[in-house]
A and B are shown apart, each in its own frame.
Chain A
Amino acid sequence: MSDSIQTTTAQVDLSTQYLGLDLKNPLVCSSSPLMENIDNIRQMEDAGASAVILHSLFEEQITLESHDLDHHLFHGTESHAEAMSYFPEMSGFGLGPERYLTHITAAKKAVDIPVIASLNCVSSGSWLEWATFAEEAGADALELNTYFLSTDAAVPGGRVEDMYATLIADVKQRVSIPVAMKLSPFFSSIPNVCQRLSDAGADGLVLFNRFYQPDFDLERLEVTPALTLSDPSTLLMRLHWVAIVYGHVSADLAVTGGVHDETGVLKSMMAGAKVAMMTSALLRHGVDHLTEVETRLRQWMVDHDYESIEMMQGSMSHRSVAEPAAFERANYMKVLRAGALTWGR
């Protein structure tokens, strides 16, 4: 190691560009309930986050709440001469995106880092005007969290992909801020889907969202919703697909799920991501964990002679591999063989 080129941790360049936004580092706090509190967002900025994705505004939730409220405000009314209704007439019920939009504005006011709004949606219905409202409220970008869980055997996969492509195109038509799309890993051909969405206008692709997995309560014989925090093993699938997609789409790539420490960030960058998003680690260790990750990230880069994040972005992607499919198959065989050796003992 040469003394003359030694870079200090302060000198390493962590900056990156994501969705056209200049970020001071690739550490982005992903969408989670933590974002409902402005104080948390402030803490994230203080701890080193370069951007935040706000909690999601759920299309279905708002629809469900609307219908639920409508049903209960209606139920029993105008049925009996003594009780025409059971609730006072209120000037508003706080339904719709107003509260969320106010939150965007408040977050923007509270921090200097980019604030990305998140819309959790399944269709390009008229509610998409909310995307415009989010832009007007000051969001620096939008993340569309597509959470469509097909349980209908009659719905072919292609239709779901068409729906997403239409969705991104519709939103892009409505807003001038950048738009990313957060995807699930459940597609037959992820690269194809990513390319379609990128071509449809997505400025970024976030791989991958994590579904709420139902669990069974054996005592009550009930299906119970469950959400477990991610762990570092969750990361591997993300790395894999980012590495494959990198270079084949114009959209920026982001990794979310399983990034818990600096190694996760480094691997994400090397696979080809522009940013690495974290939530579970913050929930587990607190928001200050970000500071530690950044410190260790810098140290690792110093120790390994990386001057900038940009240097490593995509460096371990499959872009340079002549026949990616063959590589994948070979890789698969290698793993199988290694496993057989291990388990055979």
Chain B
Amino acid sequence: MTHRATIDGNEAAARIAYLASEVVAIYPITPASPMGELADQWSAQGQKNLWGTVPDVIEMQSEGGAAGAVHGALQAGALTTTFTASQGLLLMLPNMYKIAGELTPGVIHIAARSLATHALSIFCDHSDIMSARGTGYAILMGNSVQEAHDMALVAHAATLRARVPFMNVFDGFRTSHEVSAIETLGAADVRALLDDKLVREHRSRALTPDQPIIRGTAQNPDVFFQAREAINPYYNATPGVVETVMDAFFAQTGRRYRLFDYVGAPDAERVVVVMGSAAGAAEEAVVRLCAEGDKVGLVKVRLYRPFSPAHLLAVLPKTVRTIGVLDRTKEPGAPGEPLYLDVMAAVSAAYSQGKTEFGCGLPRVVGGRFGLSSKEFTPAMVKGVFDELANAAPRHDFTVGIVDDVTGLSLPWDPSWSTEADETVRALFYGLGADGTVGANKNTIKIIGGDTDLFAQGYFVYDSKKSGAMTVSHLRFGPQRIEATYLIDRANFVACHQFQFTERIDVLGRAMKGATFLLNSPWSKDEVWAKLPERMQRQIRDLELKFYVIDAAKLAGEVGMGRRINTIMQTCFFALSGVLPRDVAIDRIRGAIEKTYGKRGKSVVRKNLAAVDSALDHLVQVDVPADEPLTGATISARVSHSAPEFVRTVTAPIMDTHGDSLPVSVMPVDGTFPVGTTRFEKRNVGHEIPVWDEDICVQCGKCVLACPHQTIRAKVFDTSLLAKAPEHFKTAKPRWKPLADQAYSLQVAPEDCTGCGLCVEVCPVKNKREVRLKAINMAPQAPLRDTERDNWSFFESLPETDRSLLNFGKVKDNQLLQPLFEFSGACSGCGETPYLGLVSQLFGDRMLIANATGCSSIYGGNLPTTPWTTNADGRGPTWSNSLFEDNAEFGLGMRVAVDKQQGYARELVAELSGLIGTDLSDALLGAEQSTEAEITAQRERVMQMRGVLATSVAKGSSNRVTDLLAVADQLVDKSVWIVGGDGWAYDIGFGGLDHVMASGKNVNILVLDTEVYSNTGGQMSKATPRAAVAKFAAGGKPTAKKDLGLLATSYGNVYVARIAMGANDKQTIAAMREAESYPGTSLIIAYSHCIAHGYDMRHGMAQQELAVKCGHWPLFRYDPRRTDKGLNPMKLDSKAPSIPVEKYAYNETRYTVLARAQPEHAKRLMAAAQQDVDARWQDYERLAKAK
């Protein structure tokens, strides 16, 4: 019996992996994380595998750790699996060689993803798996969600027979995250394919003291080679084994796969070879071209390693004259990409051996690249390739899908060529992450894919910001199986869930003639037309769209859904699209609501059901004026003409979602981008912004310090400058005595603020006439936008406050320091970014930053715009991200380089003192640089020296002078910061962190501790506290949080501070300054509230205070310099716990979910967490009191 399910590729693979395994070692990495999450969830729920036992799922500290655990588990006889992608796979390579070398059956399920090169990318290509092709693992490729499921079973079955370990690969995102209706394999199918005898044989080879063996010896030149060759028969047999398994699979399921599957004309002259999801687009193109009489074909590669030339040759038509091999990877410097080389070798070797029967003798084989980092790959592009193959001398080493105007390798294609079937409903939805659009669409797919005979597919595109993020959902439904593996380009239904998109985005750019357009509009059917931009009015009229509106935001508010318009818009989709009869559709939505929200309580179900009714009552069609002139506004340029050229020509198109159209020539060749670009984006995502009450403000600066997006700024300036101030620009008398005759202003950047409200919560001032008001209060943004935009513009034009007048140790003075980190794409209310803003205020003009991969590298370095910026002198933090695991070492490398160059510069200064002048060279070499004033003085000396040397160079001086000029700036001390989250510091990067701390080098390590892997969606790290629920710890973390700070103090010569801005901002500033001034390694662990904690982040700072009060987060500073003064280096900065831990913890969903779901278990864990806190406080007190 056939079972259907609507699931994504990750779940499709994980279901089989779980059934077929006893041990699952996991570690999160995008886009493979959901496989581990599902396995952990199923294990926590007690789901059993094929043999009736619940698999053990263990989270490791890295993919390297996971691979080691897999290796060990396999050696000890367990059926073992893991999941990974990209850099994770690279970390597994050493073990993979071992596992394969020892002929150990096992499967790694891989959502293929780009490797980081000039940039990180979370999206898909095959650079990761191609890097593993030499390990000895077999590589099996599933090209769709269905195939990811099916090949998972083939892999698990074949590995046991072949003894060769397998990678079950499918494309990241395109397959791993595509939601599709597939036919699922039941336990009986898996049972039929997995031979227990082979399982027992695997166990019999395991290490056991009852029959001891030794494996993993060291071998010498005399035998290593022969031993390595002894494995050959197994690899020779593997293709046959896979073929046998595929036959058995066919017999069991009726779904036929071969090592290489051919589709197209039997007498094809042009054939494309491809593997992965691209095969879907390619097959559509081939089918269409064949129907038009073209003699073309497609080879879909399934078993890539071991590569079987015989099987490939067997499927290639004898008529083929030209073969185009498409690789989804780039191997710079190679004569061709890997798949091309394999195909070329197979064809030419057979020809040279006289074994081919091709009519043309030796077909011409060319290779090309496509789809790097999930670049779209469409049937039109495939046609472009076939067109090229039709040329007498088709190009080799081509690219398709981009415009390469540098090396001219790209092939042209006709974007208007389409293979989309007429009977397929193609729907596009433009929404916000916060409005629930994607969730509703996934639900829609499940409704259609699960309850009808229709096929359904959904793919979702997200932008790179974590706040105010836009989502685009691409949904297809139809009576035929949907193989389209590309985005919808011709939609017959378009829904715009946010009215502001009508101006920002070309929402109707992909609408077909006669399509339905649904708009969530605050304007009525009679008002809306006049509110649309001219472009959209024209599109609606020219394309003869059926145009509907609904005020979903208002309705959602009325039924208690807040800004979640998802259910309302989903109902409208069903009402308009006709995919299902309206009544049936509404029934199904109701059922889906019960299923989705039932666990969250009846009242939640009720409000969603009310939303359904409300939607049906308020959906109306707009009468489109047929002949009236189009009066809508013209869309203005994204960035002003005064923006830098790069921003206008490169950044702006990316912001406008036109990045695909940028040619190669405009891209930096080495991944180097200008800083300070977030200021041009003006995202306007905050529904509310803070408004300053200058009459009651005490100018404490707490709001400036707490602002996660650095959108509240303060300046003190000469009152004469106010002459040009806008009418509504606010000022107050400065509360600094020396500055009292000047003006103080607190200004918000209205279009950059995300409206988190954190500033209001930290404001200590209450309006005595109305205590709900503070000195800063939230108000709707829209009515304030124009006024505040002018005010902000004027504010920006004001000079920064003279830093030499300020005491950096005071919170109040810090507000007047310019942040050199601003407007990041972090979550609204982020707990990490205030620390980064502060560091940039204090030391930004001399910082080098090594940033571990994670949230801070995404909001800190993800295109289109980045937040690190410069001051008026053009100085500012210089930033780079290497990897996740190596960040401490990466930063250490920076320090060593800076030190070395400074040392070299000093040598040259000494050597050239005669030329420089003894006084200046002595001053340069003897300068104290512990204060900002001293650093400024040294910069001036360097400038002076440059002047002297420039004169010398002009006269023709030695190379030594030129060398000194090249390194002269290193004479000014630099501040090296190593920044990352707890996943890096506590887990994957801990080894490196430990080594860097041991080195004693002058680096400042800032750990933004959210107590969870935030960037990948909230998986447990060793920083996760006991009793908190996280992914991979669904039953609450059973063990205590690792005390990284205490570990660091054990070195004795490391400066260590634990800080929490919300609890003690003064201590935070003091720790930052002490750490930076410490001439050795410093470690700051900063409590960072996070969206993954599950509470309103506007209360983040208050929650930090509770964390300290309850003792969960005791504040301390351990300064080895104090020892020199005969003092205890350990100084506790917080008082003994004064409230129970639960008083803090039970404000957060991560704790309360467990207390609700498993109250007794939660109680036990919370009691243990309290004991952790009590015991640790005693330890800290003892340390602080020791003499």
Contact = CB atoms under 8 A, between A and B. Distances in A.
Q: Is the pairing of A and B real?
A: yes
Interface of A: 62-63, 65-96, 99, 126-127, 221-222
14 contacts: A66-B600, A70-B600, A72-B1094, A73-B1149, A74-B564, A76-B466, A78-B437, A79-B471, A82-B33, A84-B1017, A92-B599, A94-B1158, A126-B602, A222-B771
Interface string B568-600: 000000000000000000000000000001011
B223 interface: no
A242 to B, nearest CB: 36
B1017 A82 contact: yes
Contacts of A65: 601, 1156
Contacts of B858: 82
Contact of B1094 (A62, A66, A86): A86
A82 B601 contact: no
Nearest to B1012: A86
Contacts of B906: none
Interface in B1118-1160: 1149-1150, 1152-1153, 1155-1159
B1176 interface: no
A290 B18 CA distance: 58
Contact of B601 (A69, A89, A222): A69
A156 B1094 CA distance: 39
Interface pairs A-B: 10 shortest CB-CB? A79-B433, A66-B601, A83-B1017, A94-B1156, A78-B438, A86-B1018, A88-B1034, A72-B1094, A86-B1092, A72-B1149
B410 interface: no
B827 A76 contact: yes
Size category of the B interface is: 35 or more
Nearest to A76: B1091
Most buried by A among B462, B564, B597: B462
Contact of A79 (B462, B602, B1032, B1094): B462
Given A62-B601, A70-B597, A79-B466, A221 B122 contact: no
A89 B1034 CA distance: 8
A75 B1094 CA distance: 8
Interface string B265-276: 000000000000
B1018 A83 contact: yes
B466 A80 contact: yes
A90 B1034 contact: yes
A126 B1152 CA distance: 26
Most buried by A among B603, B766, B1092, B1095: B603
A304 B844 CA distance: 87
Given A78-B437, A86-B1014, A87-B1030, 4 more contacts: A66-B603, A69-B1149, A76-B1092, A90-B1153
B747 to A, nearest CB: 27
**How would you classify the secondary structure of chain B's contact residues: helix, strand, loop or mixed?**
mixed
B630 interface: no
Most buried by B among A67, A71, A83: A83
A87 B462 contact: no
Contacts of A82: 30-31, 33, 122, 858, 1015-1017
Interface in B984-1014: 1014
Interface stretch (B38-46, B379-387, B415-423, B710-718): B38-46
A26 B560 CA distance: 45
Contacts of B462: 79-81
Contacts of A88: 37, 40-41, 44, 1029-1034
A81 B1149 contact: no
B1149 A79 contact: no
Contacts of A221: 766, 768, 771
A81 B122 contact: yes
A246 B601 CA distance: 41
A90 B42 CA distance: 10
A126 B601 CA distance: 12
Nearest to B1030: A88
Interface of B: 30-31, 33-34, 37, 40-41, 44-45, 122-123, 173, 177, 432-434, 436-439, 442, 460, 462, 464-466, 469, 471, 560, 562, 564, 597, 599-604, 606-607, 766, 768, 771, 827, 858, 1014-1018, 1029-1034, 1091-1092, 1094-1095, 1149-1150, 1152-1153, 1155-1159
Given A69-B1149, A83-B1014, A93 B30 contact: no
A86 B603 CA distance: 23
Contacts of B439: 74, 77-78
Nearest to A69: B600
B706 to A, nearest CB: 18
A63 B562 CA distance: 15
Given A80-B433, A86-B1017, A92-B599, A67 B1153 contact: no
A126 B594 CA distance: 15
A189 to B, nearest CB: 33
B1091 A75 contact: yes
B606 to A, nearest CB: 7
Contacts of A80: 433, 462, 464-466, 469
A88 B1094 CA distance: 12
B139 to A, nearest CB: 25
A88 B433 CA distance: 19
A77 B442 CA distance: 13
Nearest to A99: B1159
Contacts of B562: 71
Contacts of B466: 76, 79-80
A87 B604 contact: no
A81 B30 contact: yes
Contacts of A67: 560, 601, 603-604, 607
A63 B1159 contact: no
A78 B564 CA distance: 12
A88 B858 CA distance: 23
A74 to B, nearest CB: 7
A135 B1158 CA distance: 24
Contacts of B766: 221
B603 A62 contact: yes
A127 B605 CA distance: 12
Contacts of A87: 1018, 1029-1031, 1092, 1094, 1149-1150, 1153
B1029 A78 contact: no
Contact of B1095 (A72, A90, A99): A72
A311 to B, nearest CB: 46
B37 to A, nearest CB: 7
A81 B122 CA distance: 8
Contacts of B601: 62-63, 65-67, 69-70, 93, 95-96
A94 B1159 contact: yes
Given A70-B604, A221-B766, A221-B771, A93 B1034 contact: no
Nearest to B46: A91
A83 B771 contact: no
B59 to A, nearest CB: 12
A76 B1032 CA distance: 19
A106 to B, nearest CB: 12
Most buried by B among A67, A74, A77, A90: A90
Contacts of A90: 599, 1029, 1034, 1153, 1157
Nearest to A96: B601
Nearest to A94: B1156
B12 to A, nearest CB: 16
Given A69-B1149, A79-B466, A83-B1014, A93 B600 contact: yes
Nearest to A130: B602
Nearest to B1033: A88
A66 B1031 contact: no
Most buried by B among A67, A76, A89: A76
Contacts of A86: 1014, 1017-1018, 1031, 1091-1092, 1094
Nearest to A216: B771
Contacts of B1092: 76, 86-87
A71 B766 CA distance: 29
B1153 A81 contact: no
B1012 to A, nearest CB: 8
A76 B433 contact: yes
